[in-house]
Structure 1
Amino acid sequence: MYSPDPEESVSLFISLSCISLMSVLFGRKTAGTKLNAINYARSLVVSLYLISWLFSFVAAMLVQTNNFNPLSCTLAVYSCIVLYALSKILIYLFLMEKVYVVTAVGTTRSNFMLYRINLALLMPYFGIFSLMIIYRVSEVQEDGACYIGLLPPASVTLILYDIFISSWLTVLFIRPLMSSTSLLQGPSKGKLRIVARRTLMGSIISLFLSTANVITLVLFKGQERGLICLASCTMDVTLNAMSIHWVTSRGSGGSSNGRGSADNTINHSSEEQRTHPSLSLPSEKKVTPLETHISVTVESYVEQYHSTIDDY
Structure 2
Amino acid sequence: MRSYLEFEKPIAELEAKIAELRQLADGGNTDITEDLERLEAKAAQQLQATYARLNAWQKTQVARHQDRPHFADYVAALIEDYVPLAGDRNFAEDSAITGGMGRFRGRAVMVIGHEKGRGIEGRVKHNFGMAKPEGYRKAIRLMRLADRFRLPVITLVDTAGAYPGVQAEERGQAEAIARAIDCCLDIRVPLVSAVVGEGGSGGAVALAAANRVVMFEHAIYSVISPEGCAAILWNDGSRAPDAAEALRLTADDLLKLKVVDEVVKEPVGGAHRNPAQAIAALGESLDRHLRDLVGQEPGALREARRRKFLEMGSSGL
Q: Please report the TM-score for the alignment, with normalisation by the length of structure 2.
A: 0.30
Q: Which has the higher contact order (CA 8 A, sep 6+)?
A: 1
- More strand per residue: 2
Q: Choose 1 or 2 for highest CA Rg.
A: 1
Q: Please report the TM-score for the alignment, with normalisation by the length of structure 1.
A: 0.30
- More helix per residue: 1
